[in-house]
Amino acid sequence: MTRRLISLAALLALMLFSAVSMAQAQEESPAAAEETATDAEVSAPEAAPVIASDGSTLDYEAWVKLAERVEQALESGRVSTSVLESLRGELTTWRERFAQARSANAVRIATLRAQIAALGPKPENADSEMPSTAATRQSLTEQLDALVAPVKRAELAHVRADTLIGQLDKTLRARQTAGLTQIGPSPLNPAFWLPAVSDLGRSLRLAWASAADTWQNDIKWAQVRGAMAAATVFLLAGLGLLIFGQRVVRRAGEKVRAGVQGPARSAMGFVLSIVQVAVPLLGVGAIVLGLDNALVLDARGRLLLTALAVTAVLYFVARWVGMQVFGLPGASWQIVAVPEWRSREGRFQTTVSGLFAGLTMTVLQLGDLDGYSDASVAVLQWPLLVLTGLALLRIGRVFRVNLVQARAEADGAGFFDRSLGFLGTILTIVGVLGPALAALGYVELGRFLLFPTLVTLFVIAVILILHQFFVDIYGVVTRRSRDEAREALIPVLISFGIALATLPLFLLIWGGRVTELTELWARLGAGIHFGETVITPGDVLTVVVVFALGFMLTRLIQGMLGSTILPKTEVDIGGQNAITSGVGYVGIFLAAVVAITSAGIDLSSLAIVAGALSVGIGFGLQNIVSNFVSGIILLIERPVSEGDWIDVGGHMGYVRDISVRSTRIETFDRTDVVIPNSDLISGVVTNYTRGNLIGRVIVKVGVAYGCDTRRVEEILLEVAKDHPLVAINPAPSAHFMGFGADSLDFEIRAILKDVNFVLSVRSDMNHEIARRFRDENIEIPFAQRDIWLRNPETLTGLGAGAAPKPDKPRKSRRKANRAETVDQAREALDEDDMTDTFGYGREDNDD
């Protein structure tokens, strides 16, 4: 596994080297010839600064000379970029020395200041102070001034160095931008074509002449004969690995993977793909070593051989990336799901794009070595830029096809598919814009758009490939299917961490300099100032590590208390939960305090920040703080504990969890209700099971008039006493409560041993009462109502001397109120009309 990671890191380093090599050419301005004269003056060697062993004494004369040289170089504006970079490196070294000198004698200075403070404030009248005290104060003050003086001098020098470094970075960035936007000769001008071809032919002829001179020069031939055996072995091994290596690895891998399924098969396929790409890379390295031993090359030949080796490496790496992203027929995974012929196109375009990047880098290096003109460099690299842009355009089209296909499916396009579609649009734009800008004369800008985009695409592809591998490894470890592992959080977090770690790499790809990254890291290392407190990344890491250890120790103690110690005591469940939660809160608080103090952060210096936070808490977070304090009160007083049956705010159920902010109640409908803790403290809460499970049940029943009330009372009392959950002391009772409108009302009142079963007890008693009343012929009445109508003859319209009229239901209903007898009303209203009007049928009482 370590070797695979090292190989992957080497490949990414090669890709980064290619991008940086192409970006370095942008930093040189066309006025390099004029700058050379000034470089010799600015970069004159100086005597090495004399530094004491403790690092507190510096050669400030040498520092002043360096600072003046840098200021002169910045003012002239004619110093080359390489010299400015060299000066910046010297400034960075001096700044580090000044930073160390600022902290020199810190302990002694703090001690002297504490001693002076112990003497008290200096009186306004010097004569009023004791002579011995005044002498001591003066001696301590002189010692303090002697120690603080070099510190202040180092601080001033540090500020000057930091300012000069910032000015150098600003100048270098301005030159880089100017180089990108500077227009040069157009490669479409036919006048530049023949000179460009001539320059390339001259370089190749010189390289061949250097190689051929090996066999013609006796001295070189003698060197070659001594290394011929090794060269032959390297060349044969390299050719064998290039021709047969991948085939052998693929066949061996198919045999190994034959009996493996699921995520293990995919993970093994990824490992084999790494081996397949490593074998030809080893072959390229062996061939390079063989040619180096077989030929005595000059600087040009070695440069050309190295450039071609890097081109071969980029070719094989790009080929591997294309196979992993677009997949092969029957592959275990495919990041971009498109038809096979589209996948074939994506693999081909990805492979040739790596080849074109290597060839472009070779042309640039030859141009720098042999002094090509800007026109020759533009002409030679423009066809490669066009082919690279075409490859990016075709890859972008494959990504957009994936988006269209995802939208056509039932589920629609997700975030990943939309991102690929957006990336495809960017690749299309860059693929067209890069060659077009180069054709107009902006060759540097066109190359800057194309190849950093290509390298960025490769890095993103490697991150996605590694994510798929992490998903498979997680599936193998947890024994989950690939679909389940893909939905897990851990692989996503690992991939997200890798993506964050590659952010500096993206900055370097897009023109950032290593010095800028080191400067950013140095500023982060210097920390953030909060008053007199300085918080550095190391302090943050210390706080995180110590707090994590304290948090885990707290959880360990909580688990030990909850599972081992507290269950063996006589403390009830609610008290055990309260103790466990309290230990958790105290442990987390102590872990935070210990973590902050371990990092050396002075909490007293953060008083202003704490005051601002208190104002914010007073206005915006008062409800949260109120609930938090209420939660602490709940844990201390324990009016409500987990498992209690309570009724608060119209919500009844069992308490399942008491957290810092709220309490969760599970209702009898099996739904969770989250109630703020402040409601439990300030509101009215009914706790049915606090302290014990004893509770009372009341069962109401009514019997018909005329029943023997004494016998009914005896039956009810027997029913109550016979139930097993009814307590004997106090004994249950049955009471004749009164005369109701329809019945004689009785009640059973009994104390239950477990109030949680009150509904079951009430149901059991009702069943038993119904059975005993049926056996005793005791009637349980139902509600009855009498209807009295006045002037019923008006319901049919038959008044004195009136002719019969058709039935009108609504009018009859209004006149029915004036009927005089029930018999006349029955003659006027049929059964349906009576039912519709009053809601009762003929079964109503006629009395």
What's the rounded mean pLDDT across residues 583-591?
A: 87
**Residue 381: C-alpha distances to residues 17, 536, 609, 847 (Å):** 19, 47, 58, 115
Coil, helix or strand for 411? Answer: coil
Residue 198, in any domain of the structure: yes
Give the pLDDT score at 135. 86
Q: Which residue in 721, 780, 798 sits closest to 752, CA to CA? A: 721
Whole-model pTM: value is 0.66
Query: How many CA atoms, within 13 angstroms, populate the side-chain half-sphere of residue 220?
Result: 15
What's the rounded mean pLDDT across residues 382-410?
A: 86
Q: Which residue has the tokens 């009462």?
A: 769
Least confidently predicted of 3-17, 604-618, 792-806: 3-17
- Contact in structure between 476 and 263 (CB atoms under 8 Å): yes
Least confidently predicted of 29-38, 342-351, 591-600, 691-700: 29-38
Question: Rounded to 5 degrees, what are φ and ψ at 760?
Answer: -65, -40
- Judge if 699 and 747 occupy the same domain: yes
Residue 527, in any domain of the structure: no
Q: Which amino acid is at 464?
A: L
Q: Which residue in 724, 727, 646 sits closest to 690, CA to CA? A: 646
What's the 3-state SS for 632-660?
HHHHHHCCCCCCCEEEECCEEEEEEEECC
**Helices marked H in 373-531:** 374-408, 415-439, 443-478, 482-486, 490-501, 503-509, 514-526
- Who wins on pLDDT, 542 or 783? 542
Coil, helix or strand for 658? Answer: strand
Give the pLDDT score at 602. 66
Omega before 730 cis (within 30°)?
A: yes
* CA triple 118-123-127, angle to 5 deg: 120
Omega before 804 cis (within 30°)?
A: no
Give the pLDDT score at 826. 47
**Residue 299: C-alpha distances to residues 25, 207, 228 (Å):** 19, 9, 21
- Judge if 483 and 412 occupy the same domain: yes
Pair of tokens at residue 97? 């020395």
What's the rounded mean pLDDT across residues 375-394?
A: 93
The answer on pLDDT for 768 being more than 60 is: yes
Count of beta carbons in the 10 Å neighbourhood of residue 547: 19
Residue 169, in any domain of the structure: yes
- The whole-angstrom separation of Cα 227 and Cα 299 is 20
Q: Which residue has the tokens 């400030």?
A: 60
- The whole-angstrom separation of Cα 741 and Cα 745 is 10
Structural domain ending residue among the three candidates 161, 181, 201: 181
What's the rounded mean pLDDT across residues 354-382?
A: 90
Per the document, the length of the chain is 847
Give the pLDDT score at 771. 93
**Helices marked H in 25-130:** 32-42, 60-76, 81-102, 106-118
How many domains does the chain contain in total? 6
Question: Rounded to 5 degrees, what are φ and ψ at 54?
Answer: -85, -5
488-544 pLDDT tens trace: 888 888 999 899 888 888 888 888 878 778 877 777 776 676 655 677 777 888 888
- Judge if 339 and 481 occupy the same domain: yes
- Judge if 702 and 682 occupy the same domain: no
Q: Which amino acid is at 707?
A: C
Q: Which residue has the tokens 């800007």?
A: 374
Query: How many CA atoms, within 13 angstroms, populate the side-chain half-sphere of residue 297?
Result: 20
Band (pLDDT 50/70/90 cuts) for residue 574 is: low
Band (pLDDT 50/70/90 cuts) for residue 745 is: very high
- The whole-angstrom separation of Cα 309 and Cα 217 is 26
- Contact in structure between 183 and 442 (CB atoms under 8 Å): yes
Q: Which residue has the tokens 């060697």?
A: 45
- CA-CA-CA-CA torsion sign (27, 32, 36, 37): negative
Pair of tokens at residue 663? 């309490």
- Contact in structure between 271 and 320 (CB atoms under 8 Å): no
Pair of tokens at residue 242? 């290039």
Bridge partners (DSSP) of residue 663 are 658, 675
Residue 646 maps to which CATH number? 2.30.30.60
Query: How many CA atoms, within 13 angstroms, populate the side-chain half-sphere of residue 723?
Result: 32
- Judge if 357 and 481 occupy the same domain: yes
- Judge if 209 and 151 occupy the same domain: no
- The whole-angstrom separation of Cα 778 and Cα 116 is 102
- Judge if 109 and 44 occupy the same domain: yes
Mean pLDDT of the chain: 79
Structural domain ending residue among the three candidates 452, 483, 516: 516
- Widest CA span in the chain: 155
**619-623 contacts at long range (C-beta below 8 A, 24 or more positions apart):** 623/676, 623/678
Pair of tokens at residue 162? 């930091």
Residue 679, in any domain of the structure: yes
What's the 3-state SS for 346-372?
HHHHHHHHHHHHHHHHHHHHHHHHHCC
Domain that holds residue 826: 792-838
Residue 350, in any domain of the structure: yes
Give the pLDDT score at 798. 52
Residue 736 maps to which CATH number? 3.30.70.100
The answer on pLDDT for 698 being more than 90 is: yes
- Contact in structure between 168 and 22 (CB atoms under 8 Å): no
- Judge if 214 and 94 occupy the same domain: no
Computed on alpha carbons and rounded to an integer, the radius of gyration of the chain in Å comes to: 46
- Judge if 512 and 580 occupy the same domain: no
Residue 614, in any domain of the structure: yes
- The whole-angstrom separation of Cα 169 and Cα 171 is 5
First to last CA, the chain: 100
- The whole-angstrom separation of Cα 564 and Cα 553 is 16
Name the DSSP class of 530: E
- The whole-angstrom separation of Cα 330 and Cα 707 is 89
- Judge if 108 and 199 occupy the same domain: no
Band (pLDDT 50/70/90 cuts) for residue 78 is: confident
Pair of tokens at residue 703? 């019997």
What's the rounded mean pLDDT across residues 402-428?
A: 80
- Contact in structure between 180 and 29 (CB atoms under 8 Å): no
- CA-CA-CA-CA torsion sign (453, 455, 461, 464): negative
Structural domain ending residue among the three candidates 775, 802, 820: 775
CA 739, distance to chain mean position in Å, is 72
Residue 177, in any domain of the structure: yes
- Judge if 593 and 645 occupy the same domain: no
Share of the chain above pLDDT 70, in %: 79
- The whole-angstrom separation of Cα 103 and Cα 236 is 61
438-473 pLDDT tens trace: 999 999 999 999 999 999 999 999 999 899 889 888
- Judge if 317 and 465 occupy the same domain: yes
CA 847, distance to chain mean position in Å, is 82
Band (pLDDT 50/70/90 cuts) for residue 339 is: confident
Give the pLDDT score at 291. 80
Least confidently predicted of 519-523, 556-560, 760-764: 519-523
Q: Which residue in 31, 45, 23, 26 sits closest to 76, CA to CA? A: 31
- Contact in structure between 88 and 181 (CB atoms under 8 Å): no
Count of beta carbons in the 10 Å neighbourhood of residue 57: 14
Residue 23, in any domain of the structure: no
CA 197, distance to chain mean position in Å, is 53
- Contact in structure between 649 and 683 (CB atoms under 8 Å): yes
Task: Write the burial class of residue 205 (CB in 10 Å: 0-12 exposed, 13-18 middle, 19+ buried).
Answer: exposed
